[in-house]
Structure 1
Amino acid sequence: MGYDIERFVGYVNEGLLCCVCRDVLEDPLQAPCEHAFCSSCIHGWLVHHHNCPEDRQPLEGALLRPLFRYMRNDLSRLQIRCRNREQGCGMVCSLESVDRHERECEYGLVACTNAGCPIQVERRSLEAHVAACEFRSRECPHGCGYTMLTCEDSQHSCVAELRTELELLRSEMICKVEEVRHEMESRLDSQRRHMVQKESLLKSEVEELKGQLSRVMSDVRALLGAERLHRQELEQAELEKRELLELLKSLQREGRSHTPSPAPPPGSAPEGLRKTGGARGLTLDCIKRKSREVTVI
């Protein structure tokens, strides 16, 4: 809606009137056919119509443009009375500055700043009203710290208010304790589950290590048994070697103690001598072979 034409001082050009509400333009827009409208009026019209309300030519919201500059200048220079003139304001100012004046006008109605108060008073009387308003809050004069409204003075009891405050504090404390308890129980349950899982994992690892240790001990015992057997075999072989060496030395000493006689022609040696020499040679060969076997072992 536009500005009421009755508020203006002097003549108002008809071209500055809205084609819909017939009041002076407010937030004006212009159609391609050069008819001007209040912004709210033309948008409300286009919800149900698709033409200009003045000449019925097709019109869409996207075709609307700002008012010509010269028309905006003429509009801003118009002299208008304050809307609070019925309350006593006699201010007359240009249209471009009327909004600023009305936001600060001492005769303008404003709501009381006390919560719950439904009264609107003139801005110039607001301070006095707030000081005397029955919804004005203040602290108890007896020192209980309760903030109360002026209308509650006769009904206020410090003991009752303190008891109510204490009950509220107790309820809040109980709620907080329950929240902390639930939170701690939840954390403990989580830690308990984690410890059980970790304990199970550690038990599995310990069992696996026990199995590995058992296998290693079995292998070690087998190796120790094999080493002991091998050592016994070496000791036995060393003993046999020493015995054979002693036997060999004794045979060599025995052989050196006998003076050899001239060798008889082949085929003419006595039978007994041939038997003795053959047996001794066989014995020496056996001893040497045995000695080599022992050395190899």
Structure 2
Amino acid sequence: MGFDADKFVSGISEDKKCCVCSGVLDNPVRAACGHLFCSGCILPWVVRHGSCPQGCQPLTPGDLENVLSLREVILGLHVRCEYRTRGCDAVVRLTDLLKHLQDCCYRPVSCRHAQCGATLSQWQLADHEARTCDYRPMGICQEGCGLVLVYKTYTTHNCLTALKQLVIQQEQQVSVLEQELEGRGRAFERRERVLLAQLTDLKRHVQQQAVRFQACHITQLRHHSACRAALTQLEPCDHVLIQWEAHNSLPPGDMFSTEMELKTSNNRSVLVPAGAEVSL
């Protein structure tokens, strides 16, 4: 959002105003089409619409360029204090405005005395709290209640009445705290129920995973047992007689590349692919 043009001492030309909010440019950026915007105005627009607000062309965040020179020019312009309606006539550069507002003696503040709630300028606060506030402290009651006396009621102070009012105030505070505590308790209960439901789901998932893992493990054990049983049923072989017939003539020294037939002593035949190793 741009700056309010009315706070500037001199008039602001249109080339220093945002095409979205019409305020004086705050952190100005320029689109490829040449239009200028506040960075805080154009970025949300581009994300939502994907085009220039003036309807001239498509636009993405990467198409925006910071205009640092223009930013420095705008920050150097003179503005009036925001508290001029309270009496401040200060004129400062825009870049120094925030520091001035923090230190301005016309900055609105609230009286710190309980029950007062008056709002006044910073320069008035000390005198108000010390001399004119109706709720400024006047001392401690010496009649037995020990309460702090304030200017508004110290001449008509009655210990019994004051203590009753104090009890009522404290009961109201206790009621507020109890309601707050009850609300937090309900929130904790809801949170606890959610966590317990999540924990239950997690336990059920873990149990299901354990059952599946156990079933898979049993299947593997059965498969291994079947393999071992099959191996024990194989007939022993004392020696192997290798017989082959080459279907292609090979030059001397070349690797044998055809299949060969192995015959065992009990006349069982096995085809061995090319390149396989055979232990005799």
TM class, shorter-length: 0.3 to 0.5
Q: Which one has the bigger helix percentage?
A: 1
Greater Rg by CA: 1
TM-score, scaled to structure 2: 0.47
Q: Which one has the bigger strand percentage?
A: 2
